[in-house]
Amino acid sequence: MAQTGSLSHASTRLNVSQPTLGRYISRLEDKIGEPLFTRSRSGMELTQIGLNLVDDAKAMQTQADRFSLKAVGQETTISGTVRITASDVVATYLLPSILVDLKTQYPEIDIELVPSNQIQNLLSRDADIAVRMVRPSQNDLIAIKVNDMNIGTWAAKSYLEKHGTPTSIEQMFDHQIIGYDRQDLMLKQMEHLGIKADRTLFSFRTDDQVAYWELVKAGAGIGFGNNYVANKSPNLVRLVPDLILQPLPMWLTSHAELKTNARIRIAMDFLRDRLRALDLS
């Protein structure tokens, strides 16, 4: 709870019920003879005693994670669960058919899919495998570049019928633009093109990538997105195709200790081959 700030978030992360976690904390406090947390409306806060023990607790967690990883890495059976995390867009639009094929070929493997734009902690096994758009920096992780995701400018036919079709970058920015809310990735892309702007340029704003793409498909305005996904939507039209945006590198990542685990190795190899085979241009 020192990391999550609440009993509910901690119980979800640890996959135990709130009452059970509460009893564990109470027992530990009874053994120590001092309270570790104070309860308030804003959540759980560490007492001074708790703060003094945080570094030791983190060190214990790190060692426990390493022990768990080494133990899992020794498993030779295919049967079991593989937990895979990916960005919302990749998890929603790219992975489902691939994972269905993986399950068909290896029915002994159960698959947990975690759509998340947050960097999941592979060291503590929040996931076994991650598909990321950035290369991880931790030394204990295996990272394999599998593809480049190319980005284009797209709008729905319904929007263009109402507002006309821009044929240049200058004309495009006279239209309704769909952008991110608090994330600055799109503004950085524009700056790379020599276009200075702020979030007020965007008529629609959301940081949820799936909701963003659905706004584009619904005709809210002009958006920027994965060409592979866009090409699967017949109601979308690519605009200004000579506008070159920086592609997003796609990395397949897992912990080095898991490379000897049979089912995780199978899943990694399967995902590597299928993601490399995708035409993301």
Structure tokens at 127: 């996931």
Higher-confidence residue of 245 and 98: namely: 98
Going by C-alpha positions, the residue among 2, 116, 102, 113 that lies closest to residue 48 is 2
This prediction has a pTM of 0.73
Sign of CA dihedral 97, 102, 105, 110: negative
Angle at 204 between CA 198 and CA 210, to 5 degrees: 110
Match 């094929």 to its residue by tokens. 101
Nearest-angstrom CA–CA distance, 85 and 69: 17
Structure tokens at 212: 């963003």
Q: 270, 105 in Cβ contact below 8 A?
A: yes
pLDDT at 65: 53
What was the pLDDT predicted at 138? 77
Kindly report, residue by residue over 117-159, the tens digit of the pLDDT: 887 667 666 889 999 999 988 778 889 999 999 999 999 999 9
Structure tokens given for 83: 């937990």
Instruction: Give the domains, in start order, of the chain with CATH numbers.
Output: 7-73 (1.10.10.10), 80-141+255-277 (3.40.190.10), 151-239 (3.40.190.10)
Q: Computed from CA positions of residues 280, 123, 263, 76, in that sequence, does the dihedral angle turn out positive or negative?
A: positive
Rounded mean pLDDT, 202-231: 96
